[in-house]
Amino acid sequence: MGAFLRLTEDLARAQAAEADRRLAAGDGGPLTGIPVAIKDVLCVEGVETTAGSRILAGFRPPYDATAVARLRQAGAVFVGMTNCDEFAMGSSTENSGYQLTRNPHDPGRVPGGSSGGSAAAVAAGEVVAALGTDTGGSIRQPAALCGVVGVKPTYGRVSRYGLIAFASSLDQVGPFARGVRDAAIVLQAIAGFDPKDATSADRPVDLLAELEAGVEGLRLGVPHQYVEVQGMEPGVKAAVDRALLELEGAGAELVEVSLPHTDYGLAAYYIIAPAECSSNLARYDSVRFGYRAEDADTLLDTYLRTRRQGFGPEVRRRIMLGTYALSAGYYDAYYLKAQKVRTLIADDFARAFQRCDAIVSATSPTVAFPIGSRTQDPLAMYLCDVLTLGANLAGLPGVSVPCGTSQGLPVGLQVLAPQWADAMALRVARAYEVVRGG
């Protein structure tokens, strides 16, 4: 399936041996000896970590990302680094600078993105769990397309230290697994305050206590803007409608809610995210680390050639969009206005959650699409995130859980909850899983 960019065989053997010792001594935990994969944007000490980009070829971090370090401490066994869209910019993993990843349910189709390698590895049974990152849907969308569970935590719940940044106010680290309980166990292990990340929240984390509490008595919001969204496939809508009826049958009350600024979310996101990426990626100047063009005559020429050769077309496109949006004379018209829209979207969610405990919808308006079918149409690709990016703009937790099929391919049900109510999102997703017989 091409899920992995590189395997960490020696590291895995050493970790497995240590896990055996811990288990024999009765010192193991729920993740001791469990094989996991790491998305290639999270630093693993001594292991080549490239963010799926040629510009970072050969980079070996001298430290672990905090989420990686916590999995290491929990006794997990690292199988390898998974493929992703370059710098996490994409919805199909076709933007990787190295290889193509295929959907295990149909090798002619994409696995979603940007964390497509992690989703495919879990779906194919190559690992029990994997870490991904979600900036506009990059955990939940590939989870939906690959038929696995994917969790985007509340912004600040999991440390971003050691994450190769795309858009710092949107990025969040989260898990993939075959089931909600497994995903909750991984998230419990990696979550919590980290003084190395200024956006990390010092709040208690208990994601398992009410995981099996069910949905009886809960109010689940259904936003009509997410039902009538552009590009919604009839088969996806039918699968999600069945899931809503099953949740209602389990005791939940379905209530209609409104997210009136949904139509502006895509435009706001594709100003804010490229603006932050243009700033974050300015550090790749060929001087301190990473790829350097050899055919340049001057320092400026070195910068220009290195970035032109090292970055792929989608990354260059977003850097240019972001630089333009932040430039003199355009900042107020684009970036500032997009941030105001972001506030309106967050307010929409806050009002909706006054009427419900969680919001449910499709995760992706489509099932996995054929490889190459959208690479020449950036807007069509960006529309893949139309149901997921709102949670990133508002900093909300979200879960995608499989809810049937359309055209023989997986469909995902998305559960969104208020900030810091990650446990509620997981509870609803688990309740649906139980209804489905999981």
Tell me the catalytic residues: 39, 114, 138
**DSSP letters spanning 392-434:** HHHT--EEEEEEEEETTEEEEEEEE--TT-HHHHHHHHHHHHH
Task: Copy the structure tokens of residue 160.
Answer: 């971003």
- The DSSP symbol for 335 reads I
- Helix 422-435 with 180-190: angle, nearest 10 deg: 160
Helix (H, G, I), strand (E, B) or coil at 186: helix
Decide if 180 contacts 433 (C-beta within 8 A).
yes
Task: Copy the structure tokens of residue 63.
Answer: 């430290």
- The DSSP symbol for 154 reads P
- Residue entry with tokens 């508002």: 394
Type of residue at 293 = A
For residue 99, is it left (φ>0), alpha (ψ between -120 and 50) or beta?
beta
Helix (H, G, I), strand (E, B) or coil at 63: coil
For residue 137, is it left (φ>0), alpha (ψ between -120 and 50) or beta?
left
Type of residue at 105 = H
10 Å CB burial of residue 24 (0-12, 13-18, 19+) is: exposed
**Rounded distance, CA 213 to CA 252, Å?**
12
**Rounded distance, CA 386 to CA 137, Å?**
9
Contacts of 295 (CB under 8 A, 6+ apart): 305
